[in-house]
Amino acid sequence: MPRKFILSSILIFCSVFLISELSVSQDYWIRQQTPTTKRLTNCFFINNNTGWVTGDSGLVMKSTDSGVSWQLQNSNTFHDIFSVHFINDRLGWATAWVFNPLPDEFPGTLLLKTTNGGINWTSQMYADTNSYYGSLFYLDSLNGFLGGIPQFIVYTTDNGVSWNDAVSDSIGFNGFPVTFITFLNADTGYASGGVQDIAGLVWKTVNNGRNWSPTAVGPDPINDIYFFSADTSIGLSGDFKFGASFYRTNNDWLNSFNVNLGYIGMAQSIDFRIRNDGWITIGYLSKLFRSTNAGDNWVKMDIPDSSAIFDIQFIDSAYGWCVGDHGAVYKYDIMTSVNSNEISNEINSFNLFQNYPNPFNPVTKISYELQNTDNGIVTLKVFDVLGNEIATLVNEKHTPGRYNVTFDGTGLSSGVYFYRLSLNGNFISGKTMMMLK
């Protein structure tokens, strides 16, 4: 699983949000062409364009065009890759588990590293036999962490040349495996894991990962955590008897409450596009769960071709990826979905221009050009990032020509807004704009 932690940023590159399509996930998730049919278990994008996907039999592939095309990379191993982490477009690491060792290998963890974006991968065995580390996180080029068993967390300060045991006061929970690690800053980090039907745990460090303190959360492992803030987060759990579930805390895991999603399986990966719009993968259930109210309620969503989905990541409010069985990579791209579903053959008869000025405060001008309206009703509306309608600027018949409309955002907060042009209720085009106060 990629390490997920909250990044406060202004959402500049977004696409039109269609409120009428909120309940149909396949309108947003578009399957991409990939050069493999292997099971894909991890995705890690560092920006809108560049990302890696890893999976079974040592598979690593990279995209530099936002997931449109993928190039296979030589990881120099046939072992299944369990985790991947990059800190920029050059430096990355991955872990694989060795059960059938080659010469110079032994049962345990194979550590992979690249310094040139995956063109070349080097590998070395973790020093201790029968040590299996499946979670991975690097703060920078030198300081990294592995989580697994038997020592729950180990850390390096020299880019993996040597590893040291972290200290935990997990009395009664010694030997419990770690499945997730992330850091909110250089000092404060969280890990999670546990043993099925015994205990699910969340560990916290406040001294750069040297010491960790556990909190027992429930009876099953915590597989992944999404942080709204240091105090408020959601941790995924579940089993095949009682179903997929999650835990939510508002006080840094001192207390938490459990919510069952109502479907058999294990909740595996979670990420949020924006604070109110979150997604959960359930693996072989071949479904996604979506929340549009910051995780308070979740609705089961279909995947276009019913693939099992294991990992999910959003890089910003407009673009995300999820990966799964049979080489499945899906891209979340609102504008692509809109174009494929709604733009008619008449689109060349219309032009919607970028508003000016952009960013604006609080007034901006929107222009559009109509070459053939067929005496229909032209509509121009403004929406916020959640798809709520803010204003109807135009709703009337037009003759062919160019038109200018003023939008006044007085009373609105700073942020990204969308505007969309329609003819007789059929979508033509949409663009984003930003108000900065």
DSSP states of 140-178: SSS-EEEEEESSSEEEESSTTSS-EE-EE--TT-TTPPE
Q: What is the pTM of this model?
A: 0.73
Query: Where do you find CATH 2.60.40.1930 in the chain?
Result: 343-435
Write down the pLDDT at residue 17.
32
Write down the pLDDT at residue 262.
84
CATH code of the domain occupying 343-435: 2.60.40.1930
CATH code of the domain occupying 19-338: 2.130.10.10
Write down the pLDDT at residue 11.
31
Write down the pLDDT at residue 341.
37
Query: Where do you find CATH 2.130.10.10 in the chain?
Result: 19-338
- ω before 359 within 30° of 0 (cis)? yes
196 DSSP 8-state letter: T
With a cut of 70, list the residues of the chain below it in pLDDT: 1-27, 170, 334-349, 373-374, 427
Write down the pLDDT at residue 274.
86
Place of tokens 């309108």: 27
Q: Which has the closest alpha carbon to 380: 393, 366, 370, 364?
A: 393
- Burial annotation 402-413 (CB, 10 A radius, 16+ → b, else e): eeeeebebeebe
Q: Which has the closest alpha carbon to 115: 87, 139, 154, 74?
A: 87
Write down the pLDDT at residue 373.
65
Write down the pLDDT at residue 335.
53
